[in-house]
């Protein structure tokens, strides 16, 4: 299986396991900048040079050797499950993607037909009942994760612990897990632990939110989208994420972590 979703700087200063919807565009650009002194021109997910990626055949043996030898500082980044799944809905279900099309072709017609989800019209910009549609999307997300129907779960709403675990199961070890909500603090810890070719000043780094503007603007506070049933669904899908990455399962309005992540616990529970 190897190390899917793993990126490494060309200088091998650090190894990063991508978790979708967790600041991955910004992190990728920081890693690129730390080697080259400039940002990649475009979406960093499209870069095929300047950064080693497991998806590139020539990068795989280099990443595999580094990770198995634990030759570099390795890290990943996580996010509150409530805000992450909400972001996935607005970006991937309601949004028009950077290629000008809907995400995954027939996915949106499928969920609108089977689950009664509205997405803001053809361009994703028209008004609709965001709360009702999001709660129906949660039913769909739960069905994909629990029963793999009507399709396999998508990487953008499958549990973070699943992404994080493949790195551990296949022989990797994390030195740091960054909370998106404390991004500068956590990313500074990473930069302090590694030698970069180019100095990185996090205070001047822009945020590369590639999904921003794809879909409709969120019209309500996060907590308004989650009633008792939708909180139950989120707990069912993401309980391990809340436990391991220390987020508040009982208050969707509190996006901040409630404790420090215990790396030993993460490796023990996800290494099976």
Per-residue pLDDT reduced to its tens digit, 180-226:
999 999 999 999 999 999 999 999 999 887 655 667 889 999 999 99
Does residue 95 carry a pLDDT above 70? yes
Please give the span between the terminal C-alpha atoms of the chain, in angstroms, as a whole number: 15
CA-closest candidate to residue 9, choices 23, 24, 30: 30
Confidence at residue 265, expressed as pLDDT on a 0 to 100 scale:
98
Q: Is 7 helix (H, G, I), strand (E, B) or coil?
A: strand
DSSP 252: T
The sign one gets for the Cα dihedral 87, 166, 269, 190 is negative
The tens digit of pLDDT for each residue in 123-180 reads: 777 889 999 999 999 999 999 999 999 989 999 999 999 999 999 999 999 999 999 9
CA atoms within 13 A on the CB side of 171: 12
- Cα separation, 163 vs 22, in Å, equals 11
Return all residues near 201 (Cβ < 8 A) that are at least 6 apart. Answer: none
pTM, 2 dp = 0.95
Report, in angstroms and rounded to the nearest whole number, the Rg of the chain calculated over CA atoms. 19
- pLDDT band for 1, please (50, 70, 90 cuts): confident
- Cα separation, 187 vs 39, in Å, equals 17
- Cα separation, 55 vs 106, in Å, equals 24
Domain extents in the chain: 6-80+157-204, 82-156+217-238
Q: What's the whole-number mean pLDDT along residues 42-59?
A: 96
- Cα separation, 244 vs 267, in Å, equals 10
Q: What's the whole-number mean pLDDT along residues 67-71?
A: 98
Q: Is 76 helix (H, G, I), strand (E, B) or coil?
A: strand
Kindly state the tokens that stand for 231: 């909180």
């Amino acid at each position: 299986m190897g190390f899917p979703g793993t990126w490494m700087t060309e200088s091998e200063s650090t190894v990063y396991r991508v978790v979708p919807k967790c600041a991955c565009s910004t992190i990728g650009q920081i890693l690129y900048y730390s080697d080259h002194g400039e940002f990649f021109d475009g979406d960093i997910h499209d870069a095929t040079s300047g950064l080693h990626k497991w998806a590139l055949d020539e990068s795989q043996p280099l990443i595999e050797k580094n990770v198995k030898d634990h030759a570099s500082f390795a890290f990943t980044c996580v996010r509150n499950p409530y805000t992450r799944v909400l972001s996935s809905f607005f970006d991937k279900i309601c949004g028009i993607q950077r290629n000008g099309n809907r995400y995954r072709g027939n996915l949106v017609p499928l969920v609108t037909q089977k689950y009664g989800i509205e997405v803001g019209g053809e361009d994703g910009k028209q008004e609709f009942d965001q709360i009702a549609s999001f709660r129906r999307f949660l039913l769909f997300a739960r069905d994909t994760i629990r029963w793999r129907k009507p399709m396999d779960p998508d990487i953008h709403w499958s549990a973070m612990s699943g992404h994080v675990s493949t790195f551990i199961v296949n022989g990797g070890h994390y030195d740091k897990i960054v909370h998106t909500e404390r991004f500068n603090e956590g990313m500074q810890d990473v930069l302090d632990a590694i030698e970069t070719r180019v100095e990185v000043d996090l205070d001047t780094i822009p945020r590369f939110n590639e999904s921003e503007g794809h879909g409709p603007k969120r019209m309500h506070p996060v907590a308004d989208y989650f009633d008792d049933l939708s909180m139950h669904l989120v707990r069912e899908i993401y309980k391990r994420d809340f436990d391991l990455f220390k987020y508040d399962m009982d208050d969707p309005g509190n996006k901040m972590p409630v404790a420090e992540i215990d790396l030993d616990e993460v490796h023990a529970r996800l290494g099976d």
